């Protein structure tokens, strides 16, 4: 059988036998004869195999080629050797498929025949090729986010605006402990803590985390009235929900860690939100007035108490001083009386001198010597300024009286 040499391993321009006709010729009226449309040639399996071997031989170095066999394109080839090389290449490629790289934020989980076999650290690692072993590469350091009560939607293309959110009322509306309805949007942040449990303990980890978060939030909200939820209890609710979620997921063996629960919106339903805000403003005004009153009381009461204490202290001091002065005067009088009884004349002189000393000490005293009888005595009387002249009222005659009497 003749062959055409071509660019491919099958020879011929069209990749098949030369002439494009099958062996044995074409019967009259067949697609290959009579100028009709030609069908694609049907290759001979033996020819295809021979062509493939010849093409592979041309790719090998000369030292690996077998002896030339006449009648074959390009000579012959050593079939056992080329088969062994092909098998070796295939085996090496199969073994090399076991190399894999674990990124710094990942952890390799090796499965042997589908069962957990171990974990590998970041870097270049090796496992037995498929189907013996395979590897999964979950990210264990990335913090994942689950949105409950809303869905984030990006802004318009080309506009660097902040992302907007679309409410999901089926998830956000919850019943409080005082039979009120509150609209809550919150986000749960979590990461993989145990890759084996995360992959094999539960079937749908993210759906499970979301269901647990919504259930725990409804439970916590149902145990609290609406007023603390809207004002002061947000941090307490976040902590309680995170703790309860972690406990439930640990019981499930989910292998995840809840890092944070963040309340984004806690509002009444849109239909009554204006009324609730009015109530909140009234409560804020009441708190402000109460704080002002407390501040005034804290300022005025200590001042009044201090003033009262000062008055009491002054009274006590005056009382003690008066008592001490009276006691001293009484003691002095008794001592003078005792001295008078012992020596009356001397005591009287002493009393006279003390009295004159106290009187003269308060007056302007002039001591005169001899010849004072020639001085003119003068009695100095206190003088007052003359009264200012007041003109008589209009219509009153000079020298007359206002009552119409005679001057």
Q: Give pLDDT tens digits along the chain (407 positions).
A: 334 444 444 444 444 444 444 444 444 444 444 444 555 566 666 666 667 667 766 666 565 555 554 444 444 445 566 667 777 778 888 888 888 888 887 888 888 888 887 888 888 888 888 888 788 888 888 899 999 988 886 544 443 434 456 888 888 888 888 888 888 899 999 999 888 888 888 888 899 999 999 999 999 998 888 888 887 888 899 999 999 999 999 999 888 999 999 998 888 877 777 777 787 788 888 889 999 999 999 999 999 999 999 999 999 999 999 999 999 989 988 888 888 888 888 888 888 888 888 887 877 767 666 766 666 666 666 666 656 656 666 554 444 444 444 43
Give the whole-angstrom CA distance, residue 306 versus residue 295. Answer: 17
Does the structural domain 144-154+163-271 have CATH classification 3.30.565.10? no
Give the whole-angstrom CA distance, residue 10 versus residue 17. Answer: 7
Q: What is the pLDDT of residue 346?
A: 85
Give the whole-angstrom CA distance, residue 134 versus residue 109. Answer: 8
Q: Which two tokens stand for residue 269?
A: 């339903």
**Phi and psi torsions of 371, nearest 5°:** 80, 20
Residues spanned by CATH 3.30.479.30 within the chain?
144-154+163-271
Q: Which two tokens stand for residue 347?
A: 């005591």
Say how many Å lie between the first and final Cα of the chain, rounded: 181
Edge to edge, the sheet with strand 115-120 lists 115-120, 108-112, 133-136
Q: What is the pLDDT of residue 216?
A: 93
Give the whole-angstrom CA distance, residue 75 versus residue 80. Answer: 16
Q: What is the pLDDT of residue 213?
A: 93
Query: Pairing state of beta strands 99-102 and 256-267?
Result: unpaired
Give the whole-angstrom CA distance, residue 320 versus residue 326. Answer: 10
The conformation of residue 124, written as its DSSP 8-state character, comes to E
> By C-alpha distance, which of 190, 174, 196 is closest to 249?
190
């Amino acid at each position: 059988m003749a062959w055409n040499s071509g660019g491919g391993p099958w020879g011929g321009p069209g990749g098949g036998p030369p002439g494009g006709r099958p062996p044995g010729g074409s019967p009259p009226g067949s697609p290959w004869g009579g100028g009709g449309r030609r069908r694609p040639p049907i290759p001979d399996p033996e020819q295809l195999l021979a062509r493939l071997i010849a093409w592979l031989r041309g790719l090998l170095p000369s030292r690996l080629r077998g002896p030339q066999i006449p009648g074959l394109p390009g000579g012959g080839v050593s079939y056992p050797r080329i088969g062994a090389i092909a098998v070796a290449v295939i085996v090496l490629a199969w073994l090399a498929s076991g190399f894999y790289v674990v990124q710094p934020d990942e952890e390799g989980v090796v499965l042997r025949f589908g069962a957990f076999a171990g974990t590998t650290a970041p870097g270049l690692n090796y496992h037995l090729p498929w189907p013996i072993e395979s590897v999964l590469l979950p990210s264990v350091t990335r913090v994942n986010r689950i949105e409950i009560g809303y869905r984030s939607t990006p802004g318009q293309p080309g506009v660097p605006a902040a992302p907007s959110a679309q409410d999901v009322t089926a998830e956000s509306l919850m019943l409080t402990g005082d039979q009120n309805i509150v609209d809550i949007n919150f986000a749960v942040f979590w990461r993989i803590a145990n890759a084996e449990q995360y992959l094999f303990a539960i079937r749908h980890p993210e759906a499970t985390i979301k269901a647990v978060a919504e259930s725990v939030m409804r439970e916590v909200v149902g145990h609290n009235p609406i007023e603390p939820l809207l004002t002061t209890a947000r941090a307490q609710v976040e902590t309680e929900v995170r703790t309860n979620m972690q406990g439930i997921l640990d019981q499930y063996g989910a292998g995840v860690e809840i890092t944070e629960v963040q309340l984004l919106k806690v509002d009444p339903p849109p239909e009554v939100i204006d009324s609730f805000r009015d109530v909140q403003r009234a409560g804020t005004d009441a708190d402000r007035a109460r704080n002002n009153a407390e501040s005034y009381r804290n300022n005025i009461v200590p001042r009044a108490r201090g003033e009262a204490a000062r008055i009491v202290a002054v009274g006590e001091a005056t009382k003690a001083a008066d008592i001490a002065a009276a006691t001293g005067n009484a003691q002095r009088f008794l001592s003078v009386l005792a001295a008078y009884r012992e020596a009356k004349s001397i005591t009287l002189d002493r009393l006279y001198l003390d009295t004159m000393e106290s009187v003269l000490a308060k007056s302007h005293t002039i001591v005169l010597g001899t010849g004072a009888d020639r001085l003119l005595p003068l009695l100095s009387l206190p003088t007052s300024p003359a009264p200012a002249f007041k003109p008589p009222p209009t219509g009153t005659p000079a020298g007359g009286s206002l009552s119409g009497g005679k001057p």
